[in-house]
């Protein structure tokens, strides 16, 4: 167990909001994250509706998290609003709906940084970068939003549209020529599965001024190790409360 202290030495990112305690990517999960001042960032996922509105949901289909079925992109925003996005988590969240990105921007402005992942299979959402960046600019939140994606061409486009908005690359694995890929796309943030991060990689990236983070860390022993070995790391977790309890020297059992 880590020594007792009150200092938070890592950047806590609430994965899809506080998704361990509320249905993921809903306003309930985001409001819960915003209620804890030591949560520095909220991670969320964005698709486009059939009528081109950026909406907040992780999967490409409705089936897992809502009582709807089929691709997100097959429905207009009005149609998406009919689906229940909370009951599969718990009956108490039955009124939760799929939020729009604009609703989340309005909720978080001046309160918390948003880490917005653009979800794409190849280039299925043409113009998604422009739509999201336009919303961010309209709300004056260029310094309160980070855009990221597994689609690195998308992040290159986003950086070219508005270099004032931070962009990040997401990887599953440990790629070669990592610094070169970041430089080519203009990205200043890096997100990796925690199993692939090493002290050498962490030191290299931080030395280059790259904001490095890991996903998705929930197991208390792993959280404690990451917090101990990588001060300053951005840690994405479904259970930010566990990070806080570990930092305070309290038990953080599952």
Which residues, in sequence order, are CB contacts of 219 under 8 Å at separation 6+? 254
| 50 contacts 74 by C-beta, under 8 angstroms | yes
SS3 of the chain: helix, strand, coil, percent, to 5:
35, 20, 45
Angle at the Cα of 148 from the Cα atoms of 171 and 52, rounded to 5 degrees:
125
58, 115, 152, 159: which one is catalytic?
58
What is the DSSP track for 110-171?
TT-EEEEEEP-STT-STTHHHHHHHHHHHTT-TTTEEEEES-HHHHHHHHHH-TTSEEEEEE
| Maximum pairwise Cα distance, the chain | 52
Active site residue 15: yes
CB atoms within 10 A of CB 116: 26
> Residue 238 corresponds to which tokens in the numbers above?
């479904």
HSE at residue 176, side-chain half, CA atoms within 13 A, is 0
Relative to beta strand 54-56, strand 41-48 is antiparallel
Q: What is the Cα gyration radius of the chain?
A: 18
Distance in angstroms (rounded) separating the CA atoms of residues 237 and 119: 19
What's CA 22's distance to the chain center, in Å?
A: 15
Active site residue 58: yes
| Residues annotated catalytic, as ranges | 15, 58
């Amino acid at each position: 167990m880590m020594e007792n202290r009150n200092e938070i030495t890592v950047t806590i990112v609430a994965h899809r909001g506080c998704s361990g305690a509320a249905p993921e990517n809903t306003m309930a999960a985001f409001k819960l994250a915003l209620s804890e001042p030591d949560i520095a960032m909220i991670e969320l996922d964005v698709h486009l509706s059939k009528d081109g509105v950026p909406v907040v949901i992780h999967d490409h289909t409705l089936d897992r998290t809502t009582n709807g079925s089929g691709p997100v992109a097959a429905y207009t925003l009005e149609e998406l609003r009919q689906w229940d996005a909370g009951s599969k988590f718990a009956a108490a969240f039955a009124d939760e709906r799929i939020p729009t990105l604009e609703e989340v921007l309005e909720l978080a402005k001046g309160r918390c940084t948003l880490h917005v992942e653009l979800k794409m299979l190849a280039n299925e959402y043409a113009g998604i970068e422009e739509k999201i960046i336009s919303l961010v600019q309209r709300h004056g939140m260029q310094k309160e939003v980070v855009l990221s994606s597994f689609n690195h061409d998308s992040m290159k486009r986003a950086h070219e549209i508005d270099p004032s908005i931070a962009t990040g690359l997401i990887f599953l694995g440990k790629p070669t020529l990592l610094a070169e890929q970041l430089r080519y796309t203009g990205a200043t943030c890096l997100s990796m599965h925690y199993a692939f991060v090493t002290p050498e990689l962490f030191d290299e990236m931080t030395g280059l001024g790259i904001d490095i983070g890991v996903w998705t860390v929930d197991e208390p022993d792993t959280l404690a190790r990451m917090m101990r070995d990588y001060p300053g790391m951005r840690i994405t977790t479904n259970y930010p409360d566990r990070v806080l309890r570990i930092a305070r020297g309290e038990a953080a059992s599952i």
